[in-house]
Amino acid sequence: MQDSVLLKIGLPIAIAIIMCGIGLTLRGEDFQRIGRNPRPVAVGLVGHYLLLPLLGFAVAWLFPHSLEFAVGFVLVAACPSGSSSNALTYLARGNVALAVTLTVISALVTFLSVPLLVNLALQWFGGETREIRLPVGQTVMHLAALVLVPVLLGMALRRYASGFALRVEPWVSRFALLLLLLLIVAISVTQSELLLRTLPELGPAALAMCSAAIGGGFLLARLTGLALRDAITVGMEVGVQNSTLAIVIALTLLQSPQIAVPAAIYGLLMYLPAFIAVALGRRAVARREKAGAAGAA
């Protein structure tokens, strides 16, 4: 699989910049509200570590491929939410504080979920097992650099330079959307050979998995009584995965470029249903706010 500078350097830098901008919109009170009402976090974790793995195994079974490709889809499901899920949640007008919380927790659970689910997939589809260990320190540092530090920096700017934060906040959403679109186009161009070779075989499975994950996460949240913005967040967190981490695990720990291919395809195609969810989420929240304003009048 072609090694892409955009995947290794460009995307993480862009996500860190976007997360700093998102931090401008957050306050400590946002996270305190989550602490007082932990149910959305619990629902999000159920979606991520029950619904999503079931979808990963279902896709591997419904779309028969090689053992490596089947394990690749399960590996995607076992990884944490992608940091871009926070930016997409912001664009969809979801609960960003909840999104950041779920991203952090899912990253911590990854040390258990990846070995458990990947070994289960290897045994289920191929009758073999491997001992998988994640580099704890490296993964924690990666998460901190991409999510925690930029968000905290943005929140500090909002608190100590509120005038600047208020001036730039209206442009954050537009910048985040434009930057993500440019990166997706650039990555698609650099990975065109991979896409043309594997898209006909793996594309339908990846799209089906991501669409079902986003829609299923949203439906699960609404059925359990979560508010609209929380449900949008859960859908994004369940469906938008850290495909870069999945690629790294496949190439380094599993020593299999073939297992990395489904993660690469998923990482590119997941933005199609995600941006559809952004458009639908923004429209739904706007309608809800308009209805609330009319009722108050």
Question: pLDDT (tens digit, 9 = 90+) per residue, 227-247?
Answer: 999 999 999 999 999 887 787
Identity of the residue numbered 24: L
Half-sphere exposure of residue 155: CA atoms within 13 angstroms, side-chain side:
15
83 token code pair: 């940091």
In the chain, what are the helix, strand and coil shares in percent, each to the nearest 5? 85, 0, 15
pLDDT at residue 58 in the model: 94
Picking from 112-121, 171-180, 243-252, 260-269, which range would have the lowest pLDDT averaged per residue? 171-180
Name the average pLDDT for the chain: 80
Of the two residues 197 and 108, the one the predictor is more confident about is 197
Is the pLDDT at 219 greater than 90? The verdict is yes
Tell me: pLDDT of 2 over 50: no
pLDDT band at 90 (very low <50, low <70, confident <90, very high): confident
Please write the tens of the pLDDT for every residue from 25-50: 667 776 676 678 889 999 999 999 99
Which letter, b or e, does each residue of 118-151 get, where b requires 16 or more Cβ atoms within 10 Å of its Cβ?
bbbbbeebeeeeeebebeeeebeebbebbbbebb
Average pLDDT over residues 133-140: 58
Give the CA radius of gyration of the chain.
19
Q: Higher confidence at residue 274 or residue 9? A: 274
Mean pLDDT of 261-271: 88
- Model pLDDT, residue 77: 94
pLDDT in tens, 248-262: 777 767 777 788 888
Cα(250)–Cα(166) distance, rounded to whole angstroms?
43
Q: Are 180 and 272 in contact (CB under 8 A)?
A: no
How many residues comprise the chain?
297
Kindly indicate the confidence band of residue 296, based on its pLDDT and cuts at 50, 70 and 90: low
End-to-end CA distance of the chain: 58
Strands (E) in 92-229, as ranges, are none
Res 139 pLDDT > 60: no
Those residues whose C-beta lies under 8 Å from the C-beta of residue 105, and which sit 6 or more positions away, are 41, 45
The predicted structure's pLDDT at residue 274? 94
